Structure formats: C-alpha cells, structure tokens
Structure 1
Amino acid sequence: MKFGSSILLALAAVTTSVSGFAPSSSKATLSSTALHQSSYNPMGQSYQMPPAPGGPMGGEFFPLDIPMKRIEGGGTVRTWDIPPETERLQYVVETNGRPLKCKVELWEGPIRLLHMMDINLEDGNQTPFKAMLAFPKGQKALKISTTGSHEFPAIFGAEVPSFQRTKELAAFQQDVWDSNPKHTMQGTVSEGGLGAVKAFPIPDNVESVQIMWWSKDTGKRATKSKVEVLQGPNSIRQVYDLHCEGSTQPYHAVIETPGTGWTIRMWSKAPLEYPHEIVVEPYKVSDAGDSLLANNRLWWE
C-alpha cells in the first residue's frame, strides 16, 4: 500500500509540474505591449512644406505629448507590438541628465532586422534623440535595450501616427529629400573599416539638425553609418551607429545641437558596393541670420 501511495503521489506531482507549463485557457491581451495610433495632427488636414531651410516652422515634426516610460539600465529589454497596417513610427529617447546608452531596433519576424540605432550620449537631457522609421505594412515589433550600467536608466517614448498624419509625414520626408542637396557616402574596401567621411560644421544659431539616410537612388542596398557629434576639437558628445535595410525604408532623425561649436562627422560602414546618400539640414533655427545662409543655400553645401 505504501508503494502504491508513493506512485500516486509522484504522478500527481508530475501532473502539477506539467500543468504549470501548459498554455492558459484565457486569451492573452496585447494592449499593454502594443503601440496605438495617435490622433496628434499639428499640421492640420493638409501638408505644407516648412519655409527654407527646413524645420518645424510649418509644423512640429514630432509629437509634443508622446507618452514616456522609464527603462532601467544594465541591459533591460522592452518590446512593443506595432499595428500591422501602419507604415511609420516615431520615437524619442532621453535621460534625466545622465549619460544615455541604448539600442533601438525594429524587427520583422524573429530573424529580420529592419532598423537598428545604437545610441551613446554624454547627456541625454541636453541632447535627446528623436527618429522616425519608415517600413512596409505587416507584423513588426519595436525593441529597446539599455547597454549601459544599472546607474544609467533611459526614458523612452514611441508612437504610431494616425493615417492622415502618416501621409503628411511621408510628404514632409519626400520634400526634405527632394529639395535639399544630397551627399553620397561611399563604403569601405576593408572589412570592419570605415569608408567615406564627411563633416558638417553647424552654425551657432542652429539648435537642432535633421538627417536622412536613404539608398533608393544608389542601388537600393542596406545602409550602415557611424555618426559623431562633436562640440569643440575632438570633444565627442554624441555617437550613433545606424543599420537600415532597403531602399523603401529611409531613416530620418533629429540631433540636438544646443549652444555653439558643434560639428557632425559621418562615416559609411557599408562595403564599397553599398553606397548611400544623406541629407543634413537645420531643423530648429533660433535666428536665420547671415551666418546660416549664403545665396539661399547652407554654406557647407
């Protein structure tokens, strides 16, 4: 009898253990991890191109009320589901004044990485980073992971624009791309090295700069780029490493340049056969004086 009782108790324990791994009978809800579409629409019902040389004078590019969440440091990972019918996503990442080290990725399925930006900032409050991703419709996920120590959490916010706002943003991107000079970034012949380098001194009255990476006119290949933002000689304040797939997926970012003495230095990290183009233009300008324009063109162009 004791032996039989032992067998029954063992079987009961195994049944209990297995049931702990069985799927729940209740349906899982994705609302807590999904990015919902926003009704934010500051440009009105129709898109209007901002006055030259570009920027938010004709309407703010990014949402002003985007919900922000704290993400702990030390390798913390957070993911969000993206509505399959959307084609744009905007995000902001910052800190409360400490350094910022994180990586933001857009995944299609378990193995295809569409966009990746590795961010390393000296002060995530003075120079927060903003970006807009473009991608084909379908099931996708947004992933952010902190890459610094536990003492350096990040503050992150992401939002999917409404259908009308998506059309306006697409028109804004296309106008920025078509109406400004494009700089070709050639890749490198050595594996793991850096290719073409270009430097853009930023006038003191430019408070932030918008950059677009796109390869639709240079072979429709993946884009890999390294960006350093310096304030003074060899004083690197911001570093970005970008990987962007495909010709239909431009990467559009806003980099803050408060104060004086800023320079943006960019390299191509792709192979020689994978060139891409960039547009570097002011986003916010405090005073559009003579130091900014010469013959209606930015002086570095």
Structure 2
Amino acid sequence: MKFLASLIAPLLLSSSVSGFSMSMQAASPGVVSKTADWEMHRIAPNVRVEGETRHAFAFSDPARDTIQVAIDSPSGRPVDSELNLWLGPDYTPFSLKCHTEDGKEYPIQTLIGTKGYNVNLEVKNIGPHSYPLTAACSYAIDPLSNAPKDVTSETPIYVEGGAVKNISFGPEVDQLQVLMKTDGKQLKARIELLRGPNNIKQAFDVYSSNGEKNYLFLVFDMPGNTNAIRLKNLATLEYPLDFYYKASKIGDGEMPDMMWN
C-alpha cells in the first residue's frame, strides 16, 4: 500500500500543477473592435468567465493605446469582477473593482489606457460559482477611443481628497460618460450609480498609480426615470481629482439643470 501511494502521489501532484499552469497561461489575443459602441457580439473576443475564475487578454500593438472592456451577465444576475492591468511580470498600475446589481440592464463598460505598452488585462470573476459573466475586450476604435479626450472639453468638477459629490439626472439622459483623472498623482476613488435614495445599481472602486496616464473612463446606461451619480474621493486631502461628465445618449426633452452638493 505504501509503495502504491508513493507512485500515485507524484502523479496527482504533476497533474494538478500541469492543470494550474495551463489555466494561468490561457489568454485571448488582443484584437481591434468592430464597433465604436458597446455591442458585445462585435467586441471580440467574447469569453465566458465562471465564478471564482479569471481570464487574461494580451495586447501588444504599440500603435494603439486604448482598450475597450464590456462585461455583462447573460442571465441578468449580479456581477462582481475585478480588472487588473498587468505591465511586466509584477507591476499593476491600474485596478478596478466592479459591481452591478443586474449585469444585463446595467452592463460594465469602460476604456483602459495602455500607453502603447505590451500589457495583459486580467478579468477576474470574484462572484460565486453560480454567477458567470461574459467579458469582451478589444482595442477601441474612433470615435470611442477619443471619447475621454472629448469629455475633457466639458468643465471639470474639482474633488478634494475625502470629499463626496452627488449629481442627479432626469429621465431624458439615457447614457452618461464619466471621466476621473488627476495631474499625475495617484487616483483612488469610488463612483456609484444610484436609482432612488441610496439604491446602488452599480459601483466601481478604482486605484491608479498615475491618474493622468491611467485615468478612469466609464459609460453608464441609465434606464428609468430618476438616476444619480455619487462620487467619493477615497484618497487623502493632498490627492484631489478632476471629474468630467457628458451625456452620450439623450431621449426626449431637454437636459435638466444639474446641481452638485
């Protein structure tokens, strides 16, 4: 019995190590998106990521510097995920934790800068095994790739470290683009999409070592009649940020007056 155990144990260990290595090496090559919007089936490749697993996307085109990331739930379940930008073997200059109450009605839509470097983007499903997600990741194309620059034409809101800002929107705002950046200092903040008093539909926690080169750009779908954005600068007082917003899809009616407090 001892002799058989001594033979079986190394085989089991070898099998488990080999399986782990294969899962860690699994990655999708970076391609160019076929849409400047957020149509999941045209942002390739599409990958199903089971709960408590991860998938990496490899990008190596020095001529492009913006990645388009879309995540939803095929069954409309909650999505809890984490996006990590890998630059080299042990450097993560950008990390984004994402939560959405309904991955079909409130999909995750973001642009992430690569600065023209060879990078890998890890999509980690930190939800339970019964909550899979679908992730699509490609190089963004015009005019979407220039959307962060276009948003900066709006007047920024200065948010000191530790401050909380709120803004409400009328029913005519169907989709909203937001941008958070700094003057080169670190970016550490939380942004939430609310529908009703303190009813959080989406929440994002971002950390960036350089909020100018690796800013946060998000696109919120805003169904329903009343929606609001709550922004929290989680950094200390000496790390302010600039916040920009711009409605990218408008329904019937005029834009309402938007008041911060």
TM over 0.5: yes
1:281 aligns to what SS in structure 2?
strand
Distance change >3 Å, CA 112–CA 150, structure 1 → 2: same
Runs of 5+ in structure 1 lacking a partner?
Answer: 1-15, 21-29, 43-59, 188-194
- Displacement of 1:124: 0.5
- 1:157 equivalent to 2:136? Answer yes
In structure 1, the residue matched to 2:240 is 275
Q: Structure 1, residues 237-261: CA drift from partner, whole Å, max 9, x if none?
A: 2111111232222221101110112
1:6-155 → structure 2 map (5 Å cutoff) = 33-38=28-33, 40=34, 60-62=36-38, 65-67=42-44, 68-73=46-51, 75-85=52-62, 86-95=64-73, 96-155=75-134
Runs of 5+ in structure 2 lacking a partner?
Answer: 1-10, 16-24
| Structure with more strand by fraction | 2
In structure 2, the residue matched to 1:202 is 169
Quote the sequence identity (%): 24
- Displacement of 1:141: 0.7
In structure 2, the residue matched to 1:299 is 258
Q: Structure 1, residues 47-80: CA drift from partner, whole Å, max 9, x if none?
A: xxxxxxxxxxxxx44466113221101x201112
In structure 2, the residue matched to 1:285 is 250
Q: May I ask how many residue pairs the two structures share in their alignment?
A: 244
- Displacement of 1:263: 1.0
What is the distance in 1 between the residues matched to 2:78 and 2:157? 31
- 1:248 equivalent to 2:213? Answer yes
In structure 2, the residue matched to 1:224 is 188
Q: Structure 1, residues 183-223: CA drift from partner, whole Å, max 9, x if none?
A: 11211xxxxxxx1100010211111211101113xxx1111
What is the distance in 1 between the residues matched to 2:79 and 2:60? 28
Distance change >3 Å, CA 66–CA 214, structure 1 → 2: same
TM-score of the aligned structures, taking structure 1 as reference length: 0.72
1:215/1:223 contact within 8 Å kept = yes
Distance change >3 Å, CA 118–CA 148, structure 1 → 2: same
Distance change >3 Å, CA 125–CA 228, structure 1 → 2: same
In structure 1, the residue matched to 2:18 is none
1:33 aligns to what SS in structure 2?
strand
Q: Structure 1, residues 231-287: CA drift from partner, whole Å, max 9, x if none?
A: 111212211111123222222110111011211101001122111111122121112
1:36/1:83 contact within 8 Å kept = no
1:112 aligns to what SS in structure 2?
coil
Q: What letter is aligned with 2:163?
A: A
**Pairwise CA RMSD:** 3.1
1:132/1:251 contact within 8 Å kept = yes
1:84/1:140 contact within 8 Å kept = no
What is the distance in 1 between the residues matched to 2:251 and 2:66? 29
What is the distance in 2 between the residues matched to 1:277 and 1:32? 34
- Displacement of 1:32: 5.8
- Displacement of 1:31: 9.9
- Displacement of 1:33: 2.6
Match of 1:182 among 153, 156, 162: 156
